[in-house]
Amino acid sequence: MIKFIKKLNFKIDWQSKIIDLLIVIVGISIAFKLNTWNESIQSNIEIKNYLESFYEENSTNMSQLNSALEFSKTHKHNIDTLQQILLSGNYTDNRIESLSASLMILASYNPSTTTMDNIIASGEFELVKNIELRKRIIKTYNAYKNTKQLENLMSDYVNQYVTPYFFEHVRFSNFSSLDSEFVKDPKFENVVVGYGVLLNQQLQGYQSNLEKVNQLNEKLLAENVIQKSIKVSKSE
C-alpha cells in the first residue's frame, strides 16, 4: 500500500473569476436596459397612436355636434314661434299647422367613442401620463352620455305625449286638422310648452358638450406628438 499521499496545490485565478462575473453582470444590465428601452419606445408609439385617434375622433364629433347644435337652434326658433302664437291666442295664424309638425322632429347626435372604448378595454388608459389630459378626456366622453340622455328624454316625450295627441287631432298624411278647434285646446298648449322646455335643455346640453370638446382639442393640440403629426399631414 502506498502510504505516500501527494498533496496537490490548486491555485484559483480570482482576478479572472471576478472579471467573468463582472462581464455577466454588465451583460444582464445591458439586456435589462435594452428591454426597458424597447418597452418604453413601444409605449410611446401606442400612446402617440391613441392621442392621434382621440384627436381625429374628437374633431369628427365636433363637426357633427356643431351640425346638431345649429339644427336645434333653428328648431327652437320654430317652437318658440308656435308657442308665442298659441299664448297670444292668434289661432287663425296659417303657420300653426306647419309649425305643429315641428313637434315630431328630433335632433340626433351620435358621437363616436371607439377610441375611448378601445383604450379602456385594453387597460392602457394609464399610458396617458398627463393627468389633466386624462381628466379632460373622461369629462368629454361623459358629456356624450349626458347629451344622449337628454335626447332620450325628448324622444320619450314625443312618444308619450306629442304622438298620441296628434293621433287624435291630426291627419298624418298632410298634417291637416281633424278637429279645427284642437289648437285652442289647453292640452295642446301644454304639449308645446313642455316640448319647448325639453328642447331648451337639449340645446344647452349640446352647447356644454361642445365646450368640452373644444377644451379637449386644445389639450390634445398641446401635446407635441399631436402637433408634429399635424405638421407632417399638412406638409404632405
Q: How many domains does the chain have?
A: 1
Residue 77 inside a domain? The answer is yes
| Most distant CA pair in the chain, distance | 139
Whether residue 199 is predicted with pLDDT greater than 50 in this model: the reply is yes
In this structure, is the dihedral angle defined by the CA atoms of residues 45, 50, 53 and 58, taken in order, positive or negative?
negative
Phi, psi of 176, deg, nearest 5: -85, 160
The mean pLDDT value for 66-79 works out to: 94
Give residue 129's pLDDT. 82
Residue 12 inside a domain? The answer is no
Residue 115 inside a domain? The answer is yes
Helix (H) or strand (E) holding 171: strand 170-171
Whether residue 105 is predicted with pLDDT greater than 50 in this model: the reply is yes
Domain region containing 60: 18-235
Lowest mean pLDDT among 32-36, 108-112, 201-205, 213-217: 32-36
Whether residue 236 is predicted with pLDDT greater than 90 in this model: the reply is no
Lowest mean pLDDT among 25-39, 65-79, 130-144, 157-171: 25-39
Structure confidence by residue, pLDDT tens digits, 1-19: 444 444 445 555 666 666 6
Contact status, residue 219 vs residue 133, Cβ threshold 8 Å: yes
Give residue 233's pLDDT. 44
Query: Which residues make beta-bridge pairs with 171?
Result: 176
The mean pLDDT value for 139-144 works out to: 92
Residue 111 inside a domain? The answer is yes
Q: Which of the 8 DSSP states describes residue 190?
A: H
The mean pLDDT value for 31-59 works out to: 70
Give residue 4's pLDDT. 44
The mean pLDDT value for 47-62 works out to: 88
Residue 148 inside a domain? The answer is yes
The mean pLDDT value for 69-76 works out to: 93
The mean pLDDT value for 17-24 works out to: 66
**Torsion region of 6: left, alpha or beta (phi above 0 gives left; psi -120 to 50 gives alpha):** beta
Residue 5 inside a domain? The answer is no
Give the 3-state DSSP-derived string for 117-148, with helices as H, strands as E and coil as C.
Answer: HHHHHCCCHHHCCCHHHHHHHHHHHHHHHHHH
117-126, 162-171, 185-194: which is most confident: 185-194
Closest to 135 (Cα-Cα) out of 194, 79, 143, 232: 143
Give residue 234's pLDDT. 43
Residue 9 inside a domain? The answer is no
Lowest mean pLDDT among 27-31, 35-39, 138-142: 35-39
Residue 11 inside a domain? The answer is no
Beta-strand pair 170-171/176-177: antiparallel
Compare 51 and 4 and report the one with higher pLDDT: 51
